[in-house]
C-alpha cells in the first residue's frame, strides 16, 4: 500500500510503494580449488579440514610455504643435544649434527605451491586451497566433495601433482560434478589418450604437461637438517644464530645449490593450473562465453609427455575430447582446444564456453530465485520473476554471449498458468520457469574458400 500523504497544497509529492522487485547479479564464474599437498610456512602439513581461500600470490606466500620438500641429510660427525626456544615460547630439545662428514640432498616433488604460482602468473584471481595429506587414502577422497560444497563460489576444480592416485581422485569428484551446481573439472591426460571417467560435459582434458622456468628451490628461510630423530629445523629468522649455525646453514645451502644445478633438473607441472589462470583472465576480460583457447601460457619453456615420449607438438585428433597445448616457435605454449569430453556426434555440450555459460546462468538465476520461496504463486510474482530473468538474459545477449539478431532469437523466458504450469502444479506449490538460450559457439575451424575468375577473350 502507498504511504499516505497530505496533499493540502500544490506541489510534488513522493509515495513509497512496497512492490516485489528483483534483479539478478552476475556472480564470479571462475573460482578454482586446487587439490594437492601443501605446507605451512614452518614446513608442517596444512590443515585439511576445509578449503582455504587465498586472494593472490602474495596472500598465498603469507600463509603457505614451498610444498616441494627439499631436505639436507647430514652423515657422520658428532651428535650434540641442544635446547632451542620454540617460535611461540617454550623449549624444544633437539639433536644436532656437528661437523658432518657429508651433505646429501633429498627432494620430494610435491608441486602444489608452484602450481598455484603458475596459476596466478597466467591471470588467475582468488582461489581455494584443499590440502590432501595422503592422495591414496579413500577416506580423504570421499571427504573432498563435502569440503568443496561448503564453498558455494567454487566453480573450477584442479589437481596439482600427477600421481598414480589421479583416477581415484577423479572418480571421487564425479558425484560433485553430477550435482548440477555448476562445477567444472580441469583434468590432465598423461599420454594424450587416457581420459578420466568423470561426467563428460563437466570435464575438459588437457595434454601434455609443461616444462616451466621454475627451479626446485625451497624457501630460503627454512631448511630441514637431518632425518628421523636427528631432524631439526634451522631458520634464518632465529633471533641470534651462532657462528656455528651460520656456517652450518652456509654448508647446507651450498649442498642444495649443487643439487639444484647438477641433479634436480627442470620443474614439470600439470597444464591445468596454468589453464585455470587462462580461464579466469578470459572470463574477466571477455566473459565466460569466450572460449579459453588460443592463449599463450606464461612461464613455459617446453612441453613434457609423462609417458616418456618427450614433448608433443604434433596436432592430435580433436574428436578424442582432449585439448592440446601446442608449442609454436613464434608464440610459445598455446592452449589449442576448447572442448569438453562430450563425443562429437552429440554436440549440445561439445564446447567448454557453452557448458560454462549455462553453468554461470543457472547459478546466478537459481541464487536470485530464492526470494520467491513462499511468495504467493500468482501473476504478480510470476511477472516479477519473468522480468528479472529477462533483464539478466538481455544483459548477457547485449554483451555477446548469445546468438541472434534480436532478443527473440537469442533467448526466451516463459512462466504462467497454462504456459508452464497446470492447475495441479500450482496446487502442489510448484512455480515452473522455462528458459532457453542460444549460446554462441567458438569458431574452431576457419575455412577460407578461394576462387579464381578466368577471363576468356
Question: What is the SS3 string spanning 97-115?
Answer: EECCCEEEEEEECCCHHHH
Q: What pLDDT is attached to residue 87?
A: 37
Q: Are 138 and 205 in a shared domain?
A: yes
pLDDT at 220 over 70: no
Angle between helix 166-177 and 138-149 (nearest 10): 30
Q: Are 48 and 123 in a shared domain?
A: yes
Q: What pLDDT is attached to residue 68?
A: 72
Q: Are 307 and 385 in a shared domain?
A: no
**Is 1 inside any structural domain?**
no
Confidence bin at 308 (pLDDT 50/70/90): low
Domain boundary among 264, 293, 327: 264
Q: Are 249 and 292 in a shared domain?
A: no
By CB atoms closer than 10 A (0-12, 13-18, 19+), residue 329 is exposed
| Closest of 98, 105, 76 to residue 256, by C-alpha | 105
**Is 382 inside any structural domain?**
yes
DSSP of 323-348: EEEEEETTTEEEEE--B-SS-TTSGG
Q: Are 90 and 234 in a shared domain?
A: yes
Q: Are 208 and 276 in a shared domain?
A: yes
pLDDT tens, position by position, 107-144 = 666 788 999 999 999 999 999 999 988 777 778 888 89
**Is 456 inside any structural domain?**
yes
Q: Are 221 and 207 in a shared domain?
A: no
**Is 128 inside any structural domain?**
yes
Q: Are 194 and 282 in a shared domain?
A: yes
pLDDT at 213 over 90: no
Q: Which residues pair with 105 in a beta bridge?
A: 72
Q: Are 209 and 127 in a shared domain?
A: yes
**Is 18 inside any structural domain?**
no
Domain count for the chain? 3
User: Per-residue pLDDT averaged across 233-253, rounded?
Assistant: 62
Domain boundary among 242, 264, 286: 264
What's the Cα-to-Cα distance from 201 to each of 63, 242, 341, 420, rounded to whole Å? 35, 60, 6, 27
Mean pLDDT for all residues in the chain:
80
Q: Are 102 and 113 in a shared domain?
A: no
Q: What pLDDT is attached to residue 151?
A: 93
**Is 339 inside any structural domain?**
yes
Domain boundary among 347, 366, 391: 347
**Is 94 inside any structural domain?**
yes
Q: Are 185 and 284 in a shared domain?
A: yes
Q: What pLDDT is attached to residue 41?
A: 81
Q: Which domain holds residue 438?
A: 377-457
User: Per-residue pLDDT averaged across 97-112, rounded?
Assistant: 62
Report the share of the chain in percent with pLDDT over 70: 75
Q: What pLDDT is attached to residue 221?
A: 47
Q: Are 44 and 76 in a shared domain?
A: no
**Is 296 inside any structural domain?**
yes
Report the SS3 class of residue 361.
Answer: helix
Amino acid at each position: 500500500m502507498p504511504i499516505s500523504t497530505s496533499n493540502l497544497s500544490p506541489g510534488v509529492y513522493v509515495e513509497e510503494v512496497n512492490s516485489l522487485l528483483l534483479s539478478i547479479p552476475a556472480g564470479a564464474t571462475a573460482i578454482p580449488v586446487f587439490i594437492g599437498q601443501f605446507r605451512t610456512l614452518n614446513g608442517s602439513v596444512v590443515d585439511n579440514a576445509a578449503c582455504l581461500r587465498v586472494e593472490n600470490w602474495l596472500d598465498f606466500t603469507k600463509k603457505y610455504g614451498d610444498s616441494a620438500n627439499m631436505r639436507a641429510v647430514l652423515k657422520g660427525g658428532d651428535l650434540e643435544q641442544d635446547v632451542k626456544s620454540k617460535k611461540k615460547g617454550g623449549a624444544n630439545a633437539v639433536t644436532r649434527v656437528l661437523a658432518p662428514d657429508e651433505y646429501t640432498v633429498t627432494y620430494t616433488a610435491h608441486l602444489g605451491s608452484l602450481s598455484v604460482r603458475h596459476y596466478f602468473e597466467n591471470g588467475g584471481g582468488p582461489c581455494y586451497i584443499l590440502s590432501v595429506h595422503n592422495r591414496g587414502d579413500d577416506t580423504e577422497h570421499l571427504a573432498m566433495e563435502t569440503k568443496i560444497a561448503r564453498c558455494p563460489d567454487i566453480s573450477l576444480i584442479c589437481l596439482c601433482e600427477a600421481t598414480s592416485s589421479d583416477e581415484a581422485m577423479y572418480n571421487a569428484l564425479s558425484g560433485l560434478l553430477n550435482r548440477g551446481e555448476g562445477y567444472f573439472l580441469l583434468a590432465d591426460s598423461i599420454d594424450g589418450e587416457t581420459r578420466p571417467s568423470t561426467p563428460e560435459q563437466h570435464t575438459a582434458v588437457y595434454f601434455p604437461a609443461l616444462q616451466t622456468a621454475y627451479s626446485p628451490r625451497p624457501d630460503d628461510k627454512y631448511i630441514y637438517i637431518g632425518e628421523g630423530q636427528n631432524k631439526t629445523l634451522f631458520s634464518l629468522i632465529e633471533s641470534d644464530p651462532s657462528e656455528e649455525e651460520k656456517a652450518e646453514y652456509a654448508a647446507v645451502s651450498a649442498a642444495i645449490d649443487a643439487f639444484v644445478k647438477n641433479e634436480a633438473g627442470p620443474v614439470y607441472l600439470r597444464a591445468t593450473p596454468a589453464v585455470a589462470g587462462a580461464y579466469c583472465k578470459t572470463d574477466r576480460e571477455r566473459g565466460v562465453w569466450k572460449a579459453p583457447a588460443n592463449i599463450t601460457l606464461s612461464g613455459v619453456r617446453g612441453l613434457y609427455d609423462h609417458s616418456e615420449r618427450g614433448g608433443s607438438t604434433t596436432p592430435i585428433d580433436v574428436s578424442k575430447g582432449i585439448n592440446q597445448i601446442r608449442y609454436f616457435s613464434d608464440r610459445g605454449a598455446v592452449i589449442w582446444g576448447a572442448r569438453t569430453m562430450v563425443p562429437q556426434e552429440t554436440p549440445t555440450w561439445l564446447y567448454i564456453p557453452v557448458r560454462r555459460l549455462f553453468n554461470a546462468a543457472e547459478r546466478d538465476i537459481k541464487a536470485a530465485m530464492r526470494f520467491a520461496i513462499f511468495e504467493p504463486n500468482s501473476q504478480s510474482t510470476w511477472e516479477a520473476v519473468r522480468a528479472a530473468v529477462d533483464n539478466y538474459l538481455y544483459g548477457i545477449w547485449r554483451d555477446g554471449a548469445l546468438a541472434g539478431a534480436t532478443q527473440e532469437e537469442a533467448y526466451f523466458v516463459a512462466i504462467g498458468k497454462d504456459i508452464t504450469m497446470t492447475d495441479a502444479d500450482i496446487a502442489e506449490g510448484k512455480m515452473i520457469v522455462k528458459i532457453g538460450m542460444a549460446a554462441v559457439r567458438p569458431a574452431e575451424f576457419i575455412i577460407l574458400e578461394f576462387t579464381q575468375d578466368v577471363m576468356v577473350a
